[in-house]
Amino acid sequence: MTIQVASLVPCTYEYFEEDTPPGFVPAMSYEQWGFVSIKNKVLLPLEYRSVQLAGLKNSSLVIVSTIEEVGVLRVK
């Protein structure tokens, strides 16, 4: 039996959220959050203190915060 393993997102991040919409995941590196696609394309730079999904599970709206500001962004 041969097992083939494909790495979709390299282990360059410290943490990933588990329950996310299809296609992208919140990721953390150096205590800064952002979003990456399952193909490791940075969709939202890892420069936020926190990120969270806004409302619906399949929504692309996210709430982000820095030390000074809070806002809502759309991940594309």
pLDDT digits (tens, 9 = 90+) for 48-63: 999 887 766 667 788 8
61: which strand partners?
74
CA distances, 33 to each of 3, 17, 21, 39, 74 (Å): 33, 10, 16, 17, 15
Tell me the whole-structure pTM to 2 decimals. 0.69
Type and span of the H or E element at 16? strand 15-16
Does residue 38 register a pLDDT over 60?
A: yes
* Confidence bin at 36 (pLDDT 50/70/90): confident
* Confidence bin at 13 (pLDDT 50/70/90): confident
Does residue 76 register a pLDDT over 90?
A: no
